[in-house]
Every structure is written in C-alpha cells, then in structure tokens.
Amino acid sequence: MANIDWDSLGFDAYRTRTVVFSHYKDGKWSPAQSTETFSFTFDPFAQVFHYAISCFEGLKAFRQKDGGAVIFRPGENAARMARTAGYLGLPVPDADMFVKMCEECIRGNLEFLPPYGHKASLYLRPLLMGMHPQMQLVPYPEAVFAVMCAPAGSYYGEHLKSFSAVIPGNYDRAAPKGSGSYKIGANYASTFKPYKTAHDQGYTELLYLNSGTREFVDEFGSSNFFGIRGNSYITPLSDSVLPSITNKTLQEVAADFGMTVEKRPVPVDELDTFEEAGACGTAVVITPMSHIDMKPVLEEETVSRSFRFVPDGTVGPVCTKLYNRITGIQFGEVEDIHGWCHHVDL
Ligand SMILES: Cc1ncc(COP(=O)(O)O)c(C=O)c1O
C-alpha cells in the first residue's frame, strides 16, 4: 500500500505506478501494454498536439465496505467515449476493451486504490489521442488509447458544504451546434482563463448560458446543473451540454425517492425559484451551490443579479439525501438496486 494520507487527498494529477495503453494502427488495436517509466514518446507532428484531436473520460473505482473493488457505471463512460471518438473521426475502443483496460489500470496501480473508510476513490482517466503526424485537416485512423489513474479525496471531509458560482456574461463554453456535448479536450481549453479569474474572486464554478440566445442555463465548466423546487429535480435539456453520467444517476435516484424529474430548457429567471441548486459530476458527485452571481463582464466588479439558494456553506436536505444515496451505493453501504457497480477481480 502506498504511503498516502487518504484523508487529505484532493483531486489532482498524481504519479502512480503505470499507465495502460494500446495503439491503433493499420486497422487494429495492439494488445494493451503498461508503461514502466510512466511516460510516452510521440511524434511532434502528431494531430493531438497541433489540432487538439483528443478526448477523455472520467470515472471512479471504489474499495467497498466488504473489501471488494468496483468501478461505477463504466459502460456509460465507454459509450460516451465512443460517441466522442466518432465526432473526432478517431478509432473507437469498444466497450469491452475500455472496461478491461480500466480494470488493468486498477490492478497495475492497486496500492493507490484507497482503502474503505476514507471516502476516497481511485479516479480513472481514459484518454484517446490522434497520433498520426500530419498537416491536413482530415481524420486519420491512428490513435493511442491510454488509461491512467489518480487517488482522489472526497473533497468535503465529513460534511457536504456549499460553494458559489458566477455566470460570466463575456464568455461562452460551446457554440450552438458545436462540440459542447462531446468530451473533447478542446472544450476545456477556453475555460482555463475564466476559471482562474472566477477563483481569484472567490467563486468555485462558472455557470455558462446557452450561447445562442443567453436565455437558458447550459452547464458549469466541469459539471451539469440541477435545481430543486418542491418535489422536483430540474435539469437543463440542451444540445450543448455534456450528458453527465452523475446527472443521469441523480435523476434515477431522485425518481427512486419519488421525486418528479424534469429535463427541459431552464430559463435563467427560473434560478430565482430554486430552493436548492448544485453542480454534478464524477469528481465530487454534487457540489451544492449557496448562490450564483451574474456578471456582465467577469473581470469587472458589477454583479447584475444574484440568485440565492441556501446560506453560505450550508447544504439543503435534498442535495444531502441524493449525495448520501449515491456515495452509499459506491462504497457498498447501500444496496445497488440498479446494478451500477461493476465488480473488478483483483
Ligand atoms: C463539462 C462537463 N459537464 C458535466 C460533467 C459531468 O459528467 P460526469 O457526471 O459524467 O462526470 C463533466 C465531467 O465531469 C464535464 O466536464
């Protein structure tokens, strides 16, 4: 077991033991191999460096209460990567290969899989990159599919807490009919600078509106949006939003709790009516929001509107209930009635 303080882990790149990878060339994937040096050698003309031909996934493995190891819903991530690879014109690792290489990555880095009881997990990061050296803007069937991992903490410690977000009036995340619903690396490049500005101002998240008319909520820079009003779980329906597996899970759990699930366009004005709101994604399941400010220009001081959900730092009962149910299933403390946990032979 690695000498790690499992209770103070964050969510960071981490040098573990090995990366599992396969090379697609001449119409087939090579047998999966593991790096011994934790490094790759690439042609400097490879598509990935010049034209950002890359996509990735994020999913988690957990050591459960009974000592077993599971990956949470890996088939969903495999399907999403296949859809994104198709969009980029890259060869598609099929679901079986995707899941097997995730399992291989866990086995090759077993000392980094956090033991049960620390609310920590092993974050798996599958990455698919166009490798062909070329200048032309055309797809070419050569790629590397690699799975790496990093131990990740719960972020919250013992208790959930809430954070704030800002709607940046002078930034868009995705063009109408653009790439917003695909998990391509390039979608994230444009968020780095506004994220830094938002963090410097004390906001944790950026909430983007639909770039066509700016009337509706799209999603956060790294997670989906949901709002709670009465017994309803409400989340945006938009072509520019990444189909979050956590959001899909939350919708199913909300329905299990007897809530009404509404997936439809969410007008900005409706933010005023939510009793709770949050961001959802694999990294932390739910980031509850205390309030969301709207700024015409992110870099300037003016806040044109502010939407308040709960007092700073506190968390509403519905977010707490949804979070506890999902993390309970992941750690094997709550019955997995939907069969979301994929068991891994170690
Ligand atoms: C832009 C964006 N939206 C939503 C999500 C949440 O997706 P998932 O729940 O599958 O992690 C992510 C990734 O975590 C993301 O990067």
193 annotated active-site: no
Task: For the chain, list residues with pLDDT below 50.
Answer: none
Residue 155's pLDDT is what? 74
Nearest CA owner, ligand 1 atom 7: 244
- pTM for the whole structure: 0.97
Mutate to test the pocket of ligand 1, among 242, 280, 287 (most ligand atoms within 8 A of CB): 242
How many angstroms separate the alpha carbon of residue 257 from the centre of ligand 1? 23
Model pLDDT for residues 221-259, shown as the tens digit of each residue:
999 999 999 999 999 999 999 999 999 999 999 999 999
For residues 141 and 113, the answer to whether their CB atoms sit within 8 Å is no
| Choice among 60, 119, 183, 295 that is catalytic | 183
How many angstroms separate the alpha carbon of residue 280 from the centre of ligand 1? 7
What residue ranges define each of the domains in the chain, with the CATH number in brackets? 6-152 (3.30.470.10), 163-330 (3.20.10.10)
Helix H, strand E, coil C: the string for 99-130 is HHHHHHHHHHCHHHCCCCCCCCEEEEEEEEEE
Residue 157's pLDDT is what? 66
Cβ of 246 below 6 Å from ligand 1: yes
Whose CA is closest to 224, among 210, 204, 245? 245
Residue 144's pLDDT is what? 98
d(CA 81, CA 67): 29
Residue 87 makes CB contacts below 8 A (sequence gap 6+) with 55, 179, 182, 184
Residue 91 makes CB contacts below 8 A (sequence gap 6+) with 24, 29, 85, 141, 142, 143
For residues 171 and 208, the answer to whether their CB atoms sit within 8 Å is yes
DSSP 90: P
Model pLDDT for residues 115-160, shown as the tens digit of each residue:
999 999 999 999 999 999 999 999 999 999 999 999 999 877 668 9
Nearest CA owner, ligand 1 atom 14: 281
How many angstroms separate the alpha carbon of residue 136 from the centre of ligand 1? 31
